[in-house]
């Protein structure tokens, strides 16, 4: 892989970030209503703010957040704030947005990264076995039944899990990331509680995602089976296991890797409804709170965070691809 290849991909990544930041800045400002004023009216309805002081408080907050300046000045200030990792303060709780995001990100990554990798590995293996003509009957009958779960929305499966395992049988907790009264920290009690609370949300994501990965891998594997190099490997008398793994799975896996990169990039968005249903303190739940509370700066910060993470994951996969497929490495080395 040449440095020209890396530099061009990195410049493309920077271009994506520039466009994303600009769009993220412009879209919220196209609205007719004032988000700060709306939030103050919501607080006034709850008795938290005197209605007569809303206009005065709105002006104070606009000056504090720089919304009383021209669009050009706001745009330059926005870039300056981003370079300093300053995404503003939440309107609802008046806390730094970056603190709220950093508090939620580990929970989302911990839950969804594990769930995504499990679904990817299991689904990919089952999909490849389903397309392999020498696979046993058990896989051919069991895997299609498992793949039918992909037709069920993950949040609906989550509700079913809550009813069965939490309400009806009472063997799993209904919501939360750890038990009430458990002191946060790297203790055995905390780790056990976190894993116990993650079973249902993780299972709902894994079981509904296996079919997606399995069907994709099955289609690519069927295409790969018709390639000349597969037939050549069989004619050479290579062992079935080597033909299956080294020639079939390896070549069929490339589109799956791209899909995995995109999935990992969107992990920070979280499976919003799953996190809301299980009251899981991840980024998806935080995004839901930002939308329902009309929190202008929190919503803007989360969206930007998600876009940057997705762009970075695609940049990394561009660097990994030449290591997986020599043809891309050759192209990058000769043609850039």
**Whole-number pLDDT of residue 332:** 45
Under 8 Å between Cβ of 177 and 197: yes
Question: pLDDT at residue 334 above 60?
Answer: no
Domain residue limits, the chain? 1-92+296-336, 104-292
Most confident of 1-15, 57-71, 198-212, 235-249: 198-212
The pair of three-digit structure tokens given for residue 194, joined into one six-digit string: 């976190």
Task: Indicate the class that CATH gives domain 104-292.
Answer: mainly alpha
**Whole-number pLDDT of residue 162:** 93
Residues 6+ apart with CB under 8 A from 100: 90, 93, 286, 298, 301
pLDDT in tens, 200-216: 999 998 998 888 898 88
pLDDT in tens, 141-175: 787 878 888 888 888 898 999 999 999 998 999 88
**Whole-number pLDDT of residue 268:** 61
- Closest by CA position to 121, among listed 294, 256, 278, 269: 256
The mean pLDDT of 32-37, rounded to a whole number, is 72
Could you tell me the pLDDT band of residue 336, with boundaries at 50, 70 and 90? very low
Lowest mean pLDDT, pick from 200-204, 218-222, 252-256, 293-297: 293-297
> Which of 237-275 are b and which e, b meaning 16 or more Cβ less than 10 Å from the residue's Cβ?
eeeeeebbeebbbebbbbebbebbbebbbbbbbbbbbbb
Provide the phi-psi class of 47: left if phi over 0, else alpha when psi is between -120 and 50, else beta: left
Question: pLDDT at residue 317 above 80?
Answer: no
> Which of 127-163 are b and which e, b meaning 16 or more Cβ less than 10 Å from the residue's Cβ?
bbbbbbeeeeeebeeebeebbebbeeebbebbeebbe
- Closest by CA position to 253, among listed 211, 224, 212, 210: 224
Rounded-to-integer distance, Cα 108 and Cα 102, Å: 10
Report the predicted TM-score, pTM, of the whole model to 2 decimal places.
0.78
């Amino acid at each position: 892989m040449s440095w020209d290849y890396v530099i061009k991909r990195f410049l493309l990544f920077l271009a994506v970030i520039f466009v994303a930041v600009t769009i993220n800045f412009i879209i919220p400002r196209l609205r007719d209503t004032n988000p700060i004023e709306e939030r103050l009216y919501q607080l006034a309805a709850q008795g938290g703010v005197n209605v007569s002081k809303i206009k005065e408080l709105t002006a104070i907050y606009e000056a504090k957040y720089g919304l009383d300046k021209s669009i050009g000045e706001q745009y330059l200030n926005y870039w300056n704030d981003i370079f300093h990792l300053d995404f503003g303060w939440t309107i609802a709780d008046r806390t730094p947005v970056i603190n709220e995001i950093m508090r939620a990100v580990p929970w989302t990554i911990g839950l969804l990264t594990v769930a995504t990798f499990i679904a990817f590995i299991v689904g990919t293996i089952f999909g490849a076995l389903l397309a392999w003509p020498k696979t046993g009957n058990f896989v051919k009958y069991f895997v299609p039944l498992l793949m039918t779960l992909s037709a069920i929305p993950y949040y609906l499966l989550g509700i079913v899990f809550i009813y069965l395992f939490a309400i009806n049988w009472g063997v799993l907790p209904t919501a939360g990331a750890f038990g009430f009264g458990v002191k946060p920290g790297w203790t055995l009690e905390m780790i056990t509680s976190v894993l116990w609370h993650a079973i249902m949300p993780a299972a709902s994501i894994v079981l509904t995602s296996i079919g997606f990965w399995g069907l994709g891998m099955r289609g690519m594997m069927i295409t790969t089976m018709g390639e000349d190099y597969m037939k050549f490997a069989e004619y050479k008398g290579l062992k079935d296991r080597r033909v299956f793994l080294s020639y079939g799975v390896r070549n069929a896996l490339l589109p799956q890797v791209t899909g995995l990169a995109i999935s990992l990039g969107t992990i920070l968005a979280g499976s919003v409804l799953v996190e809301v249903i299980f009251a899981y303190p991840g980024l998806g739940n935080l995004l839901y709170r930002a939308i329902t509370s009309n929190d202008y700066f929190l919503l803007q910060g989360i969206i930007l965070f998600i876009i940057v993470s997705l762009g970075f994951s695609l940049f990394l996969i561009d660097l990994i691809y030449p290591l997986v497929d020599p043809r891309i490495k050759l192209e990058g080395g000769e043609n850039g």
